Amino acid sequence: QEKEASFREKAKGNIKPFPGVVKLLNTIKRGNFKLALVSSAPKENIDLLSSELNLEGIFDCIVSGREVAESKPSPQIYLLAAERLGAEPKDCIVIEDSPFGVKAAKAAGMRCLAVTNTHPKQDLEDADRVVDSLEKVDLITLIQRV
């Protein structure tokens, strides 16, 4: 917990979204789709991120890694998010940037769009689609091509 508190102290005021993320989230929300934020990070880190990026209230549910017994690549965290949203896993689209996250999404029976923010394309090949940035991803692309 001390490590996480130190992280939050250093991160405060220095968090920048990956290109296209905020715009895509707002587009999805305006399209009346449900949004979940799912992260292995502690809830306090997630809350800081949401606050710093002015995303409070955009998500219908937030699920932290502390709420499940098994971490990614187990599908537990994504299945819990789907349950809280009242959605079938097959109707969910996950946006991920890690190999374990992609594996977790696919194991949950969800479609997955991977972004090469933190890992190279070849490490994310299990995703339904891999992109270099969310800047060029729109709602139609997300729904029809993933």
pTM of the predicted protein model: 0.90
Structural domain boundaries of the chain?
A: 2-145
Tell me: the pLDDT tens digits for 19-62?
999 999 999 999 999 999 999 999 999 999 999 999 999 999 99
For the chain, what's the residue count? 146
Q: Per the structure block, which two tokens stand in for 88?
A: 């079938």
Cα–Cα dist 89/114, whole Å: 17
C-alpha distances in Å from residue 3, one per residue of 9, 71, 95: 10, 19, 27
- Please give the CATH number for the structural domain made up of 2-145: 3.40.50.1000
Q: How many CB atoms lie within 10 A of CB 78?
A: 27
